[in-house]
Amino acid sequence: MSGIPLAELPVTAGGCSRIYLEFAEQVCWIASDRAEMLRDIERALPRLLHEPAPDAHFGLGLHFTGLGGLRISAFHHGRPCDLSTMFEGPEWKLFTRIPDERRRLFSNSLFGDEPLIEFIGGDMTVLQEARRDLCALLAFNWLLLRGERLVNLHAAVCALNGQAIILIGPSGAGKSTLAQALRQRGADVYGDEWAYFTLPNYRLYAWERPLCLRPGGVDALGGNRDAISWHEAKPGDPKWSVPFTPPKEPCPRDRAHLFFIDGFGEKPTIRPIRGGEAARRLVQGIAYGRADLMVRLEIASDLVNRYPCSLLTIGRPSETGAAIEAILGRENP
């Protein structure tokens, strides 16, 4: 440890380093006392790397604490900010405070009852080595949203003929499978986890990452699940990380259609939905820097006013992909 506050570090100093990332029109920095962690981030997010920017006013500090622990500090305008406030919105409902008079411990229901995170002051310490990257990513996402210049949706993002297709639904709804089916129809696929919109102009940025398919999705696409190497980020939930294909075109920024996945059926059905219904559905999947429901509903209303919205029942993936393509074709003859 250098003893220098991470917020004040130059690009390299005293064994500590920092890198700069640009995402969704924002430049931020990540500093760490372990250079290999930054190299891992550089390898994982090469398209986000940015040259050092003195005006990058927020960032994360990553300190290794020994025994596999990771302490994450967040900074805004050079001052530490309190990461423990990140659980204020409904999007963090998977995290549960563990009763303890002396410590602020949290578990995550996806990973069992064991403490995953401890807050000490405003810093977050990740207690499970296997979840370090995930928690660092969640902290990074929170930091992006904290400035209230972005809103995040849990969604898969693809594009066909210059129009983005945003597939919205909870885990297991079929987003990734459908995104892969659309890729097989020639669509660019950007990711299956997060879509961000800038405020106030609602330009779209997808968090690029490989699709992760469950066995049922592989079956539905006619793949051979025995030939695949599965991994379990969550216990009992095996997934296949589909090799990432770099998109042919950048993600369209201001042409999109939002599809709310509403279950499975024999045949795919797509119907436009009214603004109020779309906003109500949308607000359930929004993450934002403030927990205020009305502010989130206003953002949802703005989004549905800007982009067409449909309710989608998924049939066979290939047929559903064809139905989506037909809808987009009618919108953009």
Judged by beta carbon, residue 82 or residue 298, the one nearer other proteins is: 298
Q: Kindly state whether residue 297 participates in binding other proteins, applying the rule CB under 8 A.
A: yes
Shortest distance, CB of residue 265 to other proteins, whole angstroms?
A: 25
Residues between 258 and 287 that touch other proteins (CB under 8 A): 274-276, 278-280
Q: What is the DSSP string of 253-315?
A: SS-EEEEEEEEE-SS-EEEE--HHHHHHHHHTTEE-S---HHHHHHHHHHHHHHS-EEEEEE-
Q: Restricting to residues 204-243, name those near other proteins by CB under 8 A.
A: none
Of 133 and 302, CB closest to other proteins = 302
Among 248, 271, 294, 333, binds other proteins (CB under 8 A): 294
Residue span 29-68 as binding mask against other proteins, x where in contact by CB under 8 A, dash where not: ----------------------------------------
Q: What is the closest distance, in whole angstroms, from the C-beta atom of residue 181 to other proteins in the complex?
A: 29
Q: Which of 12, 109, 305, 332 binds other proteins (CB under 8 A)?
A: 305
Q: Is 101 helix (H, G, I), strand (E, B) or coil?
A: coil
To the nearest whole angstrom, how small is the minimum distance from the Cβ of residue 330 to other proteins? 19
Number of chain residues interacting with other proteins (CB under 8 A): 15
Task: Measure the CA–CA gap between 229 and 240, rounded to whole angstroms.
Answer: 7
Residue 14 in contact with other proteins, rule: CB under 8 A: no
Token pair of 187 as six digits: 């669509």
Hey, how many other C-beta atoms are within 10 angstroms of the C-beta on 241?
15
Sorted by sequence, the CB contacts under 8 Å of residue 168 that are 6+ apart come out as: 153, 154, 155, 175, 258, 259, 260, 261, 281, 282, 285
Query: Among 230, 158, 157, which residue's Cα sits nearest to residue 187?
Result: 158
Contact between 162 and other proteins per CB under 8 A: no
The answer to whether 26 and 147 are in contact (CB under 8 A) is: yes
**Of 308 and 315, which has the nearer Cβ to other proteins?**
308
77 Cβ partners below 8 Å, 6+ apart?
57, 58
Q: Does residue 304 bind other proteins (CB under 8 A)?
A: yes
Cα 241–Cα 203–Cα 93 angle in degrees, nearest 5: 55
Beta-strand pair 188-191/194-198: unpaired
Among 298, 326, 331, 332, binds other proteins (CB under 8 A): 298
Distances (CA, A) of 188 to 138, 160, 251: 25, 7, 8
Beta carbon of residue 202, minimum distance to other proteins (angstroms, whole number) = 14
Binding of other proteins by 170 (CB under 8 A): no
The nearer residue to other proteins, 162 or 275, going by C-beta atoms, is 275
Q: Is 135 in the site for other proteins (CB under 8 A)?
A: no
CA distance 60 to 7: 8
Binding site for other proteins (CB under 8 A): 274-276, 278-280, 293-294, 297-298, 300-302, 304-305
